[in-house]
Structure 1
Amino acid sequence: MELKEFTEQEVEKIRSNEEQMDREGAIPDELLAIIYDKQLFKLFVPERFGGRRTSLPESVRIFEEASSINGSFGWLVTIGSGGGFFSGNMKKEVLDDVFLPRNAVIAGSGAPTGTAVKCEGGYRVTGQWKYCSGAEFATTFTANAMIEDGAGEEPAMRSFAFTEKQVEILRDWNAFGLKATGSHSIKVENVFVPEERTFSIFESNGVVDDPVFSYPFMPFAQASFTGVLLGLGLRVMEEAEHYLDMLAEESAKKPVLRKVLDEQGDRLEALRSTFYNTIDGNWSLHLEGESGHEQYDEVSEVCAGTAQGVREIVFALYPYLGMYASDRGTPFNRVFRDLLTASQHALIAPY
């Protein structure tokens, strides 16, 4: 894949840290510096906050490229930039505080696994949330909680923006892939959150009106995660090619693996072509105000089909790479584990 966002020197720097990231389970500061310099956590943030105001098709291609370099790096770019989506939802009084710093990035969870009680000036929130990628360097934490009003009515959901000091990070991320994403749980206990730091992900703040903020969140997120999987699929193919190059010319495995690689490579390119044609076409309709439920549902379907196709490609290749594929120290094994972990996300699961 042709590099557009990253230089060859940056790719080399990121990959030179792969073993350390996999071993220590954290992203080095020098790689975070690349993200800050390129404003990658601010792809969807307005320019007044140092953002790039990136369109959905362009951002998905950035997620793919970043993930093809390294899985944890690409996942963090994708998740971190996704928090910028909330600049279109949060109250204008807190936008500068949350989004203006150079290193501003949100970590959090969409699961409503907390409770909130209304009090004077805001809410008292208690809860615990899993899989908050980027927790170790986040400057703001967002989470959903159900409001308990004591009146016996059905509780309503609301989103809360916690400060770093309000949150306890439970370092429990123990997946076998995406090890450097710091996707730990967070916890708050009877924390006061002022009204201005609460919001609804379904309501616009009226401050930001870029087209990306009127795009439905579900296909937006699905397209983002599918971009990650496609990038990991490209890296899988790259590492399989390296294994092929290591085989002796007289090896009987070589022509067989060459054939499988060509077949699966063509399949991956077909998946990418269909995916990007769908995203680009739907985005054009969205800009023209002509995209409805049917068109957005098509994006969701293509994302699910693409994700499943990438999984199948990886498993088609694995048996032909021998024990090299099973050695935890090889680049192929790392990207294999990253891809399987990323593909478990509920929004791109087969069901």
Structure 2
Amino acid sequence: MNTRANDQAPRLIDPSEAAFTAMLAQVEARRREFSELRHIPRDMVDEFIRVGLFRAATPAKFGGDALPPAEFLRKIERISAVDASAGWVASFGSALVYFASLPLTTQAELYRDGPDLVFAGGLFPVQEAMSEPGGYRLNGHWRFASGCAAADMLGVGISGGQDTKGKPLTALLKPEDVEIVENWDVLGLEGTGSNELRVVDKFVPEEYTFVRGGDVNVDEPLFRYPAIAYAAQVLAVVNLGVGRAALDYLTEVGSGGSGITGAPRLADRAYFRIELAKAESLLRSARAFFYEITETAWEIVLRGDPLDDRTAGLLRLAGTAAVKAGWQATQIAFTLAGTGAIYNGHPLQKMLRDAAVPPQHAFLGDGIFDSAGSVLTGGTPFPGFI
């Protein structure tokens, strides 16, 4: 089942700060291209590979780095501050944590050519699959397959059974076995290429299916960290990056010259200073909570202790708080920027549209507050929450 999205060998890995900075410069230079293409092209994904993002969740036993979550999240935050779509696609370097639930023989086959594997999944709506000896026969459509155009492996969601306790399975397919239906026409994050996947009469062996967040077969710290919470965090951190970029832009502009009408510069107006300071506090507070609970959970995992429901619930809560703080900070920046921000070419236009999308994700919606509140008050975690 091992495959590559192109025939070129992976580039040499360079995890240095200089290489990462050079990659960010490429993202900045090409972000308009990403929006026009409506996906991040493979050659840019290769640059993400080169700085180690797509081995960040590969087990060390298969040559990966299995990075601590906070280290990976900070990298995605930095990319997202330059371009949110690039950050969103790069964030799926974390998705290989799911592969730890596969049989070790399957994992060995997937990583046979190296630890840098690009995975994308259109997991919903979950489809019924026909059970056959040794696996499943698949037919159907799946949506929101971010980064699918550059993937080495694709996943789709199928119904589970008694063995999975009713939880859905993800079935892995080679890109040549899947049709990408290009229907990604959206308000923001247009460069993520989150198109629909179509599969017609394809067989997937049982050993190439797994439960997301299910029991793992790799005994390394990263794979004891809650996978569903991590999946929400890598998306939430995109908005921390966008919010940071929006406030930095606003601060620079506000400290500059007078406005369009010749009025005093923004930084000389009390309302501007007050609202900017409030937005800065909002974003930094959410960010501090986000990384604090991430580090706390990681320390528990490193000690070898089981992660309690309360800490896992706080991880989910911090993700939703972060995504909403990034969105609110960007809205404030747009409002304070004044009339010029209404023009389509204004930098805050794209930031505003991009920041509007992550809060709509099912992992990050308002329902998470209810679920988190239940856990914090000693209630039973809602299904799929932790």
TM-score, normalising length from structure 1?
0.88
- Residue by residue, what CA displacement relative to the aligned partner does 1:304-327 show, whole Å, maximum 9, x if unpaired? 223222222222222221243232
- Whether contact under 8 Å (2:45, 2:90) holds in the other structure is no
Name the CA distance, whole Å, in 1 between partners of 2:195 and 2:156.
13
- Aligned letter for 1:181? T
SS of 1:201's equivalent in the other structure is coil
Residue 258 of structure 1 and its aligned partner are, at CA, apart by: 4.1
C-alpha change, 1:320 and 1:129, in structure 2 (3 Å) is same
Q: Does 1:284 align with 2:299?
A: yes
Q: 1:84 aligned to 63, 75, 96, which one?
A: 96
- Whether contact under 8 Å (1:99, 1:105) holds in the other structure is no
Residue 23 of structure 1 and its aligned partner are, at CA, apart by: 2.1
- Aligned letter for 2:287? R
SS of 1:107's equivalent in the other structure is strand
Residue 90 of structure 1 and its aligned partner are, at CA, apart by: 1.5
Q: What corresponds to 2:124 in structure 1?
A: 111
Residue 290 of structure 1 and its aligned partner are, at CA, apart by: 5.1
- Aligned letter for 1:17? R
Q: What corresponds to 1:93 in structure 2?
A: 105
Residue 100 of structure 1 and its aligned partner are, at CA, apart by: 4.3
Residue 24 of structure 1 and its aligned partner are, at CA, apart by: 2.4
- Whether contact under 8 Å (1:171, 1:184) holds in the other structure is yes
Q: What does 1:71-220 align with in structure 2 at a 5 Å threshold? A: 71-79=84-92, 81-101=93-113, 104-146=117-159, 157-206=168-217, 208-220=218-230
Name the CA distance, whole Å, in 2 between partners of 1:107 and 1:280.
27
- Whether contact under 8 Å (2:237, 2:323) holds in the other structure is no
Residue 276 of structure 1 and its aligned partner are, at CA, apart by: 1.4
Structure 1 range deviating more: 70-79 or 317-326: 317-326
Q: What corresponds to 2:325 in structure 1?
A: 309
Name the CA distance, whole Å, in 1 between partners of 2:30 and 2:331.
26
- Whether contact under 8 Å (2:236, 2:364) holds in the other structure is yes
- Aligned letter for 2:238? V
- Aligned letter for 1:280? E
C-alpha change, 1:176 and 1:299, in structure 2 (3 Å) is same
Q: Does 1:268 align with 2:283?
A: yes
Q: Does 1:330 align with 2:341?
A: no
Name the CA distance, whole Å, in 2 between partners of 1:246 and 1:101.
52
C-alpha change, 1:24 and 1:335, in structure 2 (3 Å) is same
- Aligned letter for 2:89? L
- Whether contact under 8 Å (2:331, 2:352) holds in the other structure is no
Residue 169 of structure 1 and its aligned partner are, at CA, apart by: 0.7
Structure 1 range deviating more: 241-250 or 133-142: 241-250
Q: What corresponds to 1:21 in structure 2?
A: 34
C-alpha change, 1:304 and 1:23, in structure 2 (3 Å) is same
- Whether contact under 8 Å (2:123, 2:143) holds in the other structure is no
Unaligned runs of 5+ in 1: none
- Residue by residue, what CA displacement relative to the aligned partner does 1:212-253 show, whole Å, maximum 9, x if unpaired? 212222322222222221111111112223433553386335
Q: What is the aligned residue count?
A: 343
- Aligned letter for 1:300? R
Residue 95 of structure 1 and its aligned partner are, at CA, apart by: 1.8
- Residue by residue, what CA displacement relative to the aligned partner does 1:85-109 show, whole Å, maximum 9, x if unpaired? 1231122232244334465211103
- Aligned letter for 1:240? L
- Whether contact under 8 Å (1:127, 1:145) holds in the other structure is no
Q: What corresponds to 1:63 in structure 2?
A: 76
Residue 293 of structure 1 and its aligned partner are, at CA, apart by: 0.6
Unaligned runs of 5+ in 2: 1-15, 368-386
Name the CA distance, whole Å, in 1 between partners of 2:128 and 2:169.
9
